Structure 1
């Protein structure tokens, strides 16, 4: 991440109000309020794997969705509820609105953004694309609606490899944005001609291969699970690399009893649910002198809390708005993503 974006991120977080600490009684009260409000308003809660456990549990208990950003987008589009409340970061709310423009899309806070989104301003990115008109523009889901509207394709980490392989087989050259580490991984795995934008995730870029190798010495039988937003040196020591959903499946299906997990620790809720007999260790991000050995939790995801979720359902002050012009443009690459994902599903079913 360049210095100006890093400074912006720090300033933004310094001024942000992270989730309050609620007592057990308050949590129970808020849960009951939210359940009632969801029912009254024909609303459904859609939560990302990186949100805190109480948010994920509530989404499951109320018939909502806990998933990665691709499945969140699909679920919100297909669910009959008129109102979607999206617990995640802002680009997820925007994606939900683009795919369901007729629905009301709310978020517990509009302050929850993403360093990848911040690191890819649309004016700079559009100028970059204009300099390379011979390339297919592929952007990661972790981008603004405006950046998506400039793209030919939107992808999530769960289908990035397959999509780039598909384009590469057609002889296409690619611009990839914004995550340089995921882009580097895709480039290495597919052999495609990929021009990388320079941005990164503030959580995943903190994982260090040396720290993981040291932890592996203490747990020699542990498998290392890595999200491809991590640096190349970390990806290269992984036993499994994949999106959040793919890492959860790996934890469930691999024979190992212990896992070192290099992604946001919010994922542990679902991993423990899917494989309760197994042990999950946070991959270290800090050295011996650090305030935390692993700081692997997105500070913006942590802004989603029971209290501001309940408040939003009462007052509707954080509604997501995307202009009709942007919706029309951004829907094209998003629908391509969903159609490509569905084709992959059908191919895998046919091969099973």
Structure 2
């Protein structure tokens, strides 16, 4: 394996917001608000699409109203398959942008357009374009956690559930890969596939918080537990995993492995779906405690936390917070996204994890 790095790319400082403080609601108030939102979805001919990392109230509401709870790949597919006139995307901005790129004729709303992603923020289109132009012999593969403008510069877009087979396919053709933006996922893909890859220096602020020494101690306390790790985590965390995979793959592991307990190293929002599908299993959040930590396990994206029932209802009333994509960017970005979707279909990759 040839390992290439990009030492000239210094890590970019990302301003991480404090998680929003939503007003406390009684069970009756929550039920009433959910009923109002369901009615608004019907009136607007809208469908709710939520990521596994969002609040459990949003995930359950999406399923109850005929929407979808899924990973990035299935969220992208779903918008093209539904006959709804409006997509309401609960997640972060790149997910809403992807939905709009694939469905330019539909309105795409989000509860808060400020909900971004540290990977997206750490990979500006202008800087990536300059990096790509400096290495024209490389095929540009970008993670889905990027802006529409970055996707417009890419040859391929991938999600964590499809990154390995795509890069393996390209490497088999002798192609050299320029990968952006997640260096941890890039290194994992590089190790598994043996591809020649040049890596952008980006990382997820949530997954970087997992602490390897603390995980080692937790494993010693729970030797029966399988360790499930998302590949956005650092190498020292991935090295301790029994299963490394996308959100959907980790959820599937909880339902299929015989272990009664699991240590889970990804965003805590995933526990709702895991508990729904495997209520008898013990789920333990991987530790983020360590030097400079403020809690034992605080792995939850602050931008995902910007999605809540309160602003979801408001956006359905007002119709604002709508995703808009420049037509020229959309025309280029749709090519790299569609290439991923076509590859997934041809190779039978993915489909949502269903409630059983």
Equivalents in 2 of 1:30, 1:141: separation in Å? 32
Aligned to 2:195: 192
- CA 267–187 in structure 1, closer or farther in 2 if over 3 Å, else same: same
Is the 8 Å Cα contact of residues 140 and 156 (structure 2) preserved in structure 1? yes
Q: Secondary structure in 2 aligned to 1:277? A: coil
**1:292 deviation in Å?**
1.1
SS of structure 1 residue aligned to 2:13: helix
Whole-Å separation in 2 of the counterparts to 1:303 and 1:253: 32
Q: 1:162 to 1:3 in 2, by over 3 A?
A: closer
Aligned pair partner of 2:47 in 44, 47, 58: 44
In structure 1, C-alpha distance between the alignment counterparts of 2:350 and 2:85, rounded to whole Å = 32
Superposition pairs of residues 163-242 of structure 1, within 5 angstroms: 163-242=166-245
Equivalent in the alignment of 2:294:
291
| TM-score, scaled relative to structure 1 | 0.95
**Deviation string, structure 1 residues 249-299 (Cα, Å, up to 9, x no partner):** 011100100000000010000111111110100000122884310010001
Name structure 1 gaps, 5 residues minimum.
none
Distance 1:249 1:91, change over 3 A: same
Out of 142, 147, 167, the position equivalent to 2:145 is 142
Please report the RMSD computed on the Cα atoms of aligned residues, expressed in angstroms: 1.6
Of 72, 94, 103 in structure 2, the residue corresponding to residue 91 of structure 1 is 94
After the TM superposition, list the runs of 4 or more consecutive aligned residues in structure 1 that deviate by more than 6 angstroms. Answer: none
Partner of 1:266: 269
Residues in 2 aligned to 1:21 and 1:176: alpha-carbon distance in whole angstroms: 43
Unpaired runs of 5+ residues, structure 2, are 1-8, 352-356
8 A contact 1:18–1:299 mirrored in 2: no
**Change in 2 beyond 3 A, CA 1:19/1:173:** farther
Separation in structure 1 between the aligned mates of residue 32 and residue 131 of structure 2, nearest angstrom:
50
SS across alignment from 2:177: strand
Q: Taking structure 1 as reference, are residues 121 and 288 closer, same or farther at Cα in structure 2, changes over 3 Å only?
A: closer
Match of 1:5 in 2: 13
- 1:121 corresponds in structure 2 to 124
1:28 Cα offset (Å): 1.2
Q: Which position in structure 2 is the counterpart of 1:337?
A: 340
Once the two structures are overlaid, the 10-residue window that deviates more, 195-204 or 17-26, is 17-26
Q: CA deviation at 1:211?
A: 1.0
| Residue in structure 2 matching 1:111, options 114, 117, 127 | 114
Contact 1:207 1:284 in 2 (8 A): yes
- Residues 19 and 5 (structure 1), Cα distance of their counterparts in 2 relative to 1, 3 Å cut: farther
Deviates more, 1:209-218 or 1:193-202: 209-218
Aligned to 2:27: 24
Aligned CA distance change for structure 1 residues 3 and 131 (closer, same or farther; 3 Å): closer
Q: 2:303 aligns with which of 288, 300, 307?
A: 300
Task: Say whether 1:161 aligns with 2:164.
Answer: yes
Pairwise CA distance, 1:209: 1.6
> Residue 348 of structure 2: SS of its match in structure 1?
helix
CA shift digits 1:281-336 (9 cap, x unpaired): 00001228843100100011011000100000000110000011111100000000
Bigger shift: 280-289 or 168-177?
A: 280-289
Q: Report Cα offsets for 1:138-197 as digits up to 9, x if no partner.
A: 000000000000000000000100000000000000000000000000000000000000
User: Contact between 1:109 and 1:303, CA under 8 Å: does it hold in 2?
Assistant: yes
Any conservation in 2 of the 1:18–1:302 contact (CA below 8 Å)? no
Corresponding residue for residue 249 of structure 1: 252
Which residue matches 1:152? 155
Change in CA separation of 1:201 and 1:18 when aligned onto 2, cut-off 3 Å: farther
Distance 2:316 2:350 in 1: 40
Change beyond 3 A, Cα 1:85–1:257 = same
TM-score, length of structure 2 as denominator length? 0.94
Q: Which moved more, 1:34-43 or 1:207-216?
A: 207-216
Q: What is the rounded CA distance, in whole Å, between the counterparts of 2:38 and 2:349 in structure 1? A: 35
